[in-house]
């Protein structure tokens, strides 16, 4: 057993793991009880498992939990709250982006990271950011509108 100290959504957390190479996704969902991120492909290709680590995005299904010890991990749960949603979460609702909602975690986390890097992205910037994500419901255009709304450009 290994004890790891993490900061998740602004709170210090400690977990015990049998295998420090276990994916961060499993620690977040199974050990810490967080509903997001989600398991999608398990290969880091679809984006459903996306989290922020020290402000950048990472696919938690393919990242060992030991790689984030001492770093700041933010999940969709920590991005905003019902009382104080992140601007992109508010825009997501206003644009009625959701269909099935399974992939929403990756889209909002990637979009929020883009807005942190570039508060006024172009539509091309948004498309490029979303290029690595998978959504089978076809909400791509609504997601783009939500990012543009959150940036004050819609």
Of 140, 145, 118, the closest CA to residue 130 belongs to: 140
Distance of CA 74 to the CA centre of its chain: 8
C-beta of residue 112 within 8 angstroms of C-beta of residue 134: no
Report all structural domains of the chain as residue ranges with CATH numbers, in order of start. 2-74 (3.10.20.30), 87-150 (1.10.150.120)
* DSSP H stretches of helix in the chain: 24-26, 76-79, 87-94, 104-117, 123-130, 140-150
* pTM (two decimals): 0.94
Residue-wise pLDDT for 79-124, tens only, equals 999 999 999 999 999 999 977 888 899 999 999 999 999 999 999 9
Residue-wise pLDDT for 2-31, tens only, equals 999 999 999 999 999 999 999 999 999 999
């Amino acid at each position: 057993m290994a004890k790891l100290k993490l900061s998740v959504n602004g709170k210090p957390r400690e977990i015990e793991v049998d295998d420090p190479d276990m994916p961060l996704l499993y620690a977040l969902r199974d050990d810490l009880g967080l509903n997001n991120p989600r398991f999608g492909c398990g290969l880091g290709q679809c984006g459903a498992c996306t989290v922020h680590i020290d402000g950048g995005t990472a696919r938690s299904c393919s990242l060992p939990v030991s790689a984030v010890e001492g770093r700041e991990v933010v999940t969709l749960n920590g991005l905003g709250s019902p009382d104080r949603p992140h601007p992109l979460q508010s825009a997501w609702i206003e644009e009625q982006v959701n269909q099935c909602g399974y992939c929403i975690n990756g889209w909002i986390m990637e979009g929020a990271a883009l807005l942190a890097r570039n508060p006024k992205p172009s539509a091309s910037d948004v498309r490029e950011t979303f290029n690595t994500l998978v959504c089978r419901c076809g909400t791509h255009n609504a997601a783009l509108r939500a990012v543009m709304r959150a940036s004050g450009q819609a």
